[in-house]
Amino acid sequence: MDEWVNAVKEGDRRKIARAISWIENGDIRREALMEALYPHTGGAFLIGVTGSPGAGKSTLVDGLLFEIRKQGKKAAVIAVDPTSPFTGGALLGDRVRMARHALDKGVFIRSMGTRGSLGGLARPAKEAARVLDAAGYDVIFIETVGVGQSEIDIMHLADTVALVLTPGSGDAVQVFKAGIMETADLFVVNKADGEGAEKLVRDIEEMLSLVKGDAPWMPPIVQTESKEGRGLDLLWGKMESHRLYLLESGNWEGHRLQRLRREVQEIMEEELRNQLADRIRDPAFQQDLDRVQSREKAPHEVARKWLARLMDTSGGANYDRG
């Protein structure tokens, strides 16, 4: 693994791309690589960008890349699209955008689709971000589509979350309902050249005053025309302000610790679920279920017995009382 870690750290683009493929495909080397890379991560600024399809997220991020490059920082994009089976239009669009940065070694763009995996994309996106973090990208964007639970999960990976809305789309109401208002640190009113931009800004302000009250960080609302590159310097400035706010308020480490705790807990829960699923494939489990059905045994009794077996195999204390 040392060889791979060194290659990633040196920014070897082909190796970075391969590593992300391992993550996507659940390659057996994935876990070892992630563990070996972990000590070299933590330096990147992770920014989540979400909003409805067509809101202009990709165009926006693309423009931000130029702003960030002007400052001499390296930047990467992970475009997560749970709806596209990886070969769809999103990838095509990303190819076009990537071509604009093709000669720039300081930019890395990658799409991730679902490929039918049920586990969601939050974990793969997080791991891909870690690879890019270890590779020395200063800023990593994670672009997701929509405002569903999986997007909210992905947004939990980010230090700063920007929500992109467009005038006249009715997005704001949706977002309010989905409870994503609370998750966003920044609001972007994109396509501000369109009619109704001012009204959308007022609507967001109104909702924010309800949700945020006098919170220490009041999310700014930035109007952009990302196609023309308008407002992007201001937006990048606000993203940096949020980062500074997190650092100065002590929330930066706090938020990250909270996320790491959730991550470790999720891994443990998943492992337990898998072990349990293995255990109860035993025909004896079916027999016990039959006894529950015939009222010979109570559900709790059987659950205790099988939990105890699980604890035995995973080296825990034996508390079998069943």
Q: Which residues of the chain form contacts with ligand GDP (CB under 6 A)?
A: 51, 53-59, 93, 190-191, 193, 225-227
Question: Which does residue 24 bind out of Mg ion, ligand GDP, none, counting CB within 5 to 8 angstroms by kind?
Answer: none
Please work out, in degrees rounded to the nearest 5, the angle formed at the alpha carbon of residue 194 by the alpha carbons of 190 and 200.
Answer: 65
Tokens 């390659």: give the residue: 27
Q: How many residues bind Mg ion (CB under 5 A)?
A: 2
Nearer to ligand GDP by Cβ, of 33 and 163: the residue is: 163
**Cα 27 to chain centroid, rounded:** 20
Task: Specify the DSSP element, H or E, that contains 175.
Answer: helix 171-178
* Minimum CB distance to ligand GDP, residue 232 (Å): 10
What residue 223 binds from Mg ion, ligand GDP, none (CB within 5 to 8 A, per partner kind)?
none
**Least Å distance between CB 198 and ligand GDP?**
15
Tokens in use for 93?
């669009």
Nearer to ligand GDP, 135 or 197 (CB): 197
Q: Could you say which DSSP state residue 151 is in? A: H
Q: Which is nearer to ligand GDP, 54 or 179 (CB)?
A: 54
CB of 224 to ligand GDP, least distance (A): 6
114 binds Mg ion (CB under 5 A): no
How many Cβ atoms sit within 10 Å of the Cβ of residue 48? 28
Query: Can you list the alpha helix ranges (DSSP code H) found in the chain?
Result: 2-9, 13-25, 30-37, 57-70, 89-100, 122-134, 149-155, 171-178, 197-212, 232-249, 251-279, 283-293, 299-313
Q: Quick one: 160 or 226, whose CB is closer to ligand GDP?
A: 226
Q: State the residue number with the nearest CB to Mg ion.
A: 58
Provide the mask over 34-73, with x wherever binding to Mg ion is found by CB under 5 A and - wherever it is not: -----------------------xx---------------
Helices 299-313 and 283-293: angle between axes, nearest 10 degrees: 160
Bridge-partner residues for 177, per DSSP? none
| Residue with Cβ nearer ligand GDP (79 or 246) | 79
Asked if residues 238 and 67 have their Cβ atoms less than 8 Å apart, the reply is no
Q: Which residues of this chain interact with Mg ion, rule CB under 5 A?
A: 57-58
